[in-house]
Structure formats: C-alpha cells, structure tokens
Amino acid sequence: MSFGDGDPPSGTHGEAKYPSFGPSNPTQSSTATGNGESSIEAIAHKIQESLSLSKRHRFWETQPVGQFKDLGDASLPEGSIEPPSPLSEVKSDPYPLPALYEWTTCDIDDDATAAEIYSLLSNNYVEDDDNMFRFNYSKEFLLWALRPPGYFKSWHIGVRVKSSKKLVGFITGIPARIRASTVVVRMAEVNFLCVHKKLRSKRLAPVLIKEVTRRVHREDTWQAAYTAGVVLPTPISTCQYWHRSLNPKKLIEVGFSRLGARMTMSRTIRLYKLPPSPVIPGFRKMEIRDVPAVTSLLRVYLSKFAVAPDLDEKDVAHWLLPRENVVDSFLVKNPETHEITDFCSFYTLPSLILNNANYTNLKAAYSFYNVATKTPLLQLMNDALIVAKQKDYDVFNALDVMENESFLKELKFGPGDGMLHYYLYNYRLRHALKPSELGLVLL
C-alpha cells in the first residue's frame, strides 16, 4: 500500500513503488545498502532537512505510526501504539466525498467490475520514474491478490463519478496474520491505491485512505501493513529491488537496461545464458497434495525472521498453488526418501511498455517465498531462473529480504536504483529491521 499525506506526494498513487528498473545508480543505492536502523535514521533526517516545516508529513504526524522524532527512543514499548476503540465508536457511515463522486464496493467476481478495475490500474497506476513502463495487472492476478481466505468484499473500495458511473478511484485491503517478534497480529494488507490521473488535484487519495481504515476498523482490525517507494513516518525496513536479465536483448532494446561498458550484445546474451532445464534431482511443480509439507517448511523457515506472515494450510493453498501467469511454485522431493526438502516460488506481474514501436509487454517474475534446507539456496534459485526462462519471462526481480542477498550477485542480479519501504500502521517495533530480518513479501 502507498499511504499519503493530506496532499499526497506522487508515490501515494503508486509511481514511486515501481521496482526501480535499469542498472543501479551508485550514488542513490549506496545511501541505504546497510538498511539497518542507522540508514533509516539517515533517510529520515535527510528528508526532514529538505522539507520546510509546512510541508512535513502533517497527516502522518496525527496517525498512530512510528514518528521520526521517536527514532532510537528505547523507552517506547513494542506493540500497539493506540488501543482498539469500542466498535460502537467506529463511524458507521462512509467519509464524505466531493459532491460529484460516490462510493462503490467493487465486486471483483463480477466481470464488468473486474474489467473496470483492470482499466483504471493499467492506465493510471504504477509507472517508473521515466514513464517508460507501467504495471499491467491481469484480472487473474487481481482475483488472486484480493480474495485470500477470509477476505472482505467491503475492503475493495472504489470511487465513481455520479453522473457517468466511471470508476476513478480504488483502494483495497485484505486480512492477514503477521507475526511481529513473538506476537501474531491480525492486520490488513493495504494496496492498489489509485486515483485517475486527471483527478489527482481533487484530494481523493486521503479520503480513500480514511475510508479503508474505517472499514478495516469495522471488522475489529486495528493494524495494517503496507509498502511505498517514498519515505513516510516511519519505515520498519528499507529494501532494494534487484533484477536478473533473462531476455537481455529485449531489455536493452526497450530501455529497461543498457549495454555494459565494453560489452557487445552477443557477449551480454552469453553472459546471461542459462541451462535449458532444471538440474536439481527431484525438482518439480508444486501440487495440491504438497500443501501440508510446504506449509510445514514455510512455518519453520519464517519463524527465523522478526516480521513474517503466519501461514496455515489454507493460506499456502491460496497463495502458492500454481496458477497460470499468476504464481509459480516448485519444490524438491528427495527421490529416495520422498521427503519435500526445498521450495521456491515467484509471481507474475507484467508491465506495459510505453511508447515503443516494437514491444508492448514486459513479462516479469517476482521472487516470492523460498525455503532451502537440503539444496543450497543458490542452486535452488538458479533452477527458478531456468524455469522462468523456459516460460518466456524477460526479467526476474527479487527484493533483498530474507536470505535473498546470499544469491543475488552470484546469480548475476543487478541492483535497482530505488528503495521499497515497509510500514506498519498502529504497531511499533523497537528497532528498524535489516532486510535480512524481514520475512514478508507484499504484492
């Protein structure tokens, strides 16, 4: 999710959440490569120094989130910042909208509504800083992302123009159980905040944020998790996207990346060449019968991290069973003992290629959850790259969360030049987390 100020910066519509395509800019990426508490403090101080008092985060300074001024204050307790209110005190009516607009609850199961959401997002949602690429969520992806076990239709919120019924605003929440340290907390994962480009001056984004918060509270949920590409008060962790070329010729031709110094196209293609098929014995696609074993693997693995989802078998079945062009999952089953020992997964999020005569679509895989117990993680992820290449993906993206940093450079991933910030709403951690302490991937 990209929350915003009363007058939201561009990132609150998603633009800054784009995974920093292209080769890294060392002057930018070096500012947060440590990604511990000191780097977040440095970012916070830099932001505060660059803003006049009148332009600081007025909205967020009134919200139950970690504040920059509290960084390093060990006396503040970990956990909820504000206690829950009695449900009877939560507003029963939606927040007022400008006179020309009205609320709608978006039924993602309805084909016409799903098409409207797709159209709004594909034309107005996340773009890179240079306006060369824009996320292109498929209907199948949205159905997967917005309908996990126990989801609330009321948390899929739209704004329509009263006269034409055109959908011009959107925000969503889904329920999740997220463990922070040793405490499992019911949260909302908030995402897809999008306002039509022509209406960005109408102050619809803050009202969408307030409304999703109200509806989440109505279901007795008081915490939320979200991400943004901009620095707001206050990130629990700051992570970096890394990119691994699978189709380097196309990536260079569309401007996603560029030829390295003293490199020719043919040498670049050879550099990124992969074996034709996976090489780990027992490596195969996940099936429904594997859900209990994969759940067990994941629960043990995710327990190592300071913040991670608390997944049961229903969650694993929903999020990780393969769906064509949505999510792919593979595992390693020991040919002799028949034990499932390792697991890897990635989801599909293509982008429209803007203003290019030869290409319209960039097929991107995003690393999801991976567990290596018997096979080295490097080898497991190399096989993940191989199957992604077999499936005609152009690029494989990964955040430096969990243990991902251990394979990124070796497998020829290159760092992007932007950061992704993770936030918790109404929940304080005592210390900011390194990416390697974070076991959570938000779509």
Give the tokens for residue 438.
Answer: 């974070």
Contacts of 63 (CB under 8 A, 6+ apart): 233, 425
The residue from 199, 320, 411, 443 that is catalytic is: 443
Cα(17)–Cα(127) distance, integer angstroms? 8
Cβ(94)–Cβ(102) below 8 Å: no
320 belongs to the catalytic site: no
Give the tokens for residue 280.
Answer: 């780990």
Angle at 340 between CA 304 and CA 392, to 5 degrees: 90
Provide the 10 A C-beta neighbour count for residue 391: 15
Angle subtended by helix axes 139-146 and 111-124, to nearest 10: 100
Residue ranges of E strands in 132-182: 133-135, 156-161, 167-180
Cα(167)–Cα(320) distance, integer angstroms? 31
Angle subtended by helix axes 291-302 and 313-320, to nearest 10: 100
The CA-based dihedral angle spanning residues 123, 126, 190, 200, taken in that order and rounded to the nearest 10 degrees: -70
Strand partners, 340: 333
> By three-state DSSP, how is residue 120 classified?
helix
Cβ(366)–Cβ(398) below 8 Å: yes
Active site residues: 443
